[in-house]
Amino acid sequence: MKSHIWLRSETKDHERRTPLTPIGAQQLIQDGHIVTVEKCNDRIIKDSDYQNVGCQLVDALSWKTAPKETIILGLKELPENESDPLIHKHIFFGHAFKGQAGATELLKRFKSGGGSLYDLEYLIDENQRRVAAFGFWAGFTGAAAAMDSWADLSQGKDFSPLHDYEHQDEWIASLKKRLIGQAPNVMVVGAKGRCGSGALTLLKKIGIFPTSWDYQETKEGGPFKKIAEHDVFINTALINTKIPPFINEEILEDQALSIICDVSCDPSGELNPIPLYDRAGSWQKPLQSKLLAGKIRHILAVDNLPSLLPKESSEDFAEQLLPHLRSFASDHSNSIFERSLAFFKSHSDKI
């Protein structure tokens, strides 16, 4: 079976990642498929690198007029404030199955156009484990951003805007320099997962050894006063069912907690375990400062943290995804993609 894979440009601010590298594109072409790549100045990989391995280059957003049978591959959300019916098979993080803002509108677009969404978050194997995830890098970059924020706070500086780094070593060196002679008391919840592993890896590299909790410590349900006793709380837990919150304003009374980093960042979702904020931050203003229990607390919640290390996170994710993408391109009944499609159908059928 021959497929046409169309890598679309990303429209989200500061999104430089890609789910497909030239190495992967070349393998798809060698498999007999067509690969089209939309031009994108912000993408961490140059357009010419794709062209050099045989990809067709086209203008940004031209996927909208691609033949109906084309598979549209992306990463983050489609352009905002659009309502055109969606006719293609789309692969991207749709954020549409947990009651998030805009979910109903997106599903209506697919339903009216007859297209389908293969949500990257729901590409799972027979053990219900995701086959491709940015989790490690979300935890790694979230922890790094939290440490930068704590350094700003402890040094009496305004919080710095976020910016990406060419390589993690550059960021680690900066953090080590900023934290000389001081170290916050840090707690990580969800420490045994991919995301938690990334956070712990970063913290270890800069000489911080946090309190680490996972399911065993949280299964009885929160809120947990222990969390509030730390200077920095990093939430990396994957939540799939409604649970009591990890923290609320009441347990913050007379407690030290000053930086809350919610790597999971699902403020508009029904499963948010940190109900202290209702919107994500931005790269320009990543922290939200709130008066909670008589003290100003600062919440860091940005929904594309891995793009702070766009090259490393893209290469890792694309390598995880590629074998399954190659299989799907050759056989659309691939079981992993069928599971993702089933999630889409179960939710779109309710619209």
In the DSSP assignment, the letter for residue 54 is T
Helix axes 135-154 and 310-330, enclosed angle (nearest 10): 160
* Pair 111, 87: CB distance under 8 Å: no
- How far apart CA 24 and CA 32 sit, in angstroms, is 13
* Pair 273, 237: CB distance under 8 Å: yes
- Alpha helices per DSSP H over 206-241: 215-218, 225-228
- Alpha helices per DSSP H over 99-134: 103-113
- How far apart CA 252 and CA 51 sit, in angstroms, is 54
Q: Which of 46, 30, 14 is nearest to 322 (CA)?
A: 30
- Provide the annotated active-site residues: 76, 95
- The amino acid occupying position 187 is M
